[in-house]
Structure 1
């Protein structure tokens, strides 16, 4: 947690949200941390202190420090010097928090976006049907349960023969 002293500034939470919308996910540059639903809360105190609370996509996310530093820098770029960045695991992040437009950008980037998990409380043990982000075929097979990050699986499309990553639905 970083803290800095500050002079009082007049800042609205919506301005901070807009600044955070420009912070890219460190592992997937076509989506922001707000697109991914990681930012949970933004508060601005009467004294000008900005507090941002975020939930990482995984508790052991290797980019946790990068995300925290990027949030702090985005707020500092607004002229704020009294900043607190908090991470929380409650409630746990879910792929349902990814915006629809971000799902499309993931697909265009070559990553199969996760299917919505819905409102159920149960974890599904069977993988949802995955569509190839390049050709749209459902004729795909998983080649590895874990991809370059814990939140993704590796697939190959038997229709276009292209390998791709796919997000796990959480």
Structure 2
């Protein structure tokens, strides 16, 4: 008989739930899954952090976690949203970054942290990225906004393929 705790079993289930907008990533690989605990009443409490304020996928993430945990035999499941600290694309795991590239998306680079006020600019963000298909750094921005607010659209000028880039946040 194993010595796995109820919280560990619940975490093992929760970490398999995928992101509804990028299903090649689990919520754990995306860094959205913060913790899974069992409270004093025996309820499984899952903490998640949105990738950005107003992320429309949060409701689906919450529903998917509840359904998956219920299917695994956890009757009382509560999802709490933690906004602090704010999610960062730095939280995407190395396995998650590889999965993005394997599926034709450009993974975010490191977030540039600044102290003091954040400069406002209306020009596109300059990023040092490479094409996820041919690895060429010769890319051009076609739209700062892709199919979701957390992605930008690029085109490789070497292989001419379009691709999405997950933005650094």
Q: What is the TM-score when the length of structure 2 is the normalising length? A: 0.88
Match 1:116 to one of 110, 121, 140: 110
Match 1:94 to one of 83, 88, 102: 88
Q: Deviations over 1:1-26 (max 9, x none)?
A: xxxxxxxxx95322222111211110
Q: Deviation above 6 Å: which 4+ runs of structure 1?
A: none
Find the counterpart in structure 1 of residue 168 from structure 2. 169
List gaps (5 residues or longer) in structure 2.
Answer: none
RMSD of Structure 2 on Structure 1 (CA): 1.8
List gaps (5 residues or longer) in structure 1.
Answer: 1-9
C-alpha contact (below 8 Å) 2:15/2:33 kept by paired residues: no
Q: What is the TM-score when the length of structure 1 is the normalising length? A: 0.87
Residues 1:25 and 2:19 aligned together: yes
> Structure 1 residue 60: deviation in Å?
1.3
Find the counterpart in structure 2 of residue 141 from structure 1. 140
Find the counterpart in structure 2 of residue 64 from structure 1. 58
Counterparts of residues 24-63 of structure 1 (less than 5 Å):
24-63=18-57
Q: Deviations over 1:82-125 (max 9, x none)?
A: 1111112211110000000110110010110001226x345687
Q: Deviations over 1:114-138 (max 9, x none)?
A: 01226x3456874320110000000
* Counterpart secondary structure, 1:35: helix
Q: Deviations over 1:22-57 (max 9, x none)?
A: 111101111111110001121112432111110011
Find the counterpart in structure 2 of residue 83 from structure 1. 77
> Structure 1 residue 151: deviation in Å?
0.4
Find the counterpart in structure 1 of residue 127 from structure 2. 128
Distance 2:23 2:74 in 1: 25
* Counterpart secondary structure, 1:105: helix
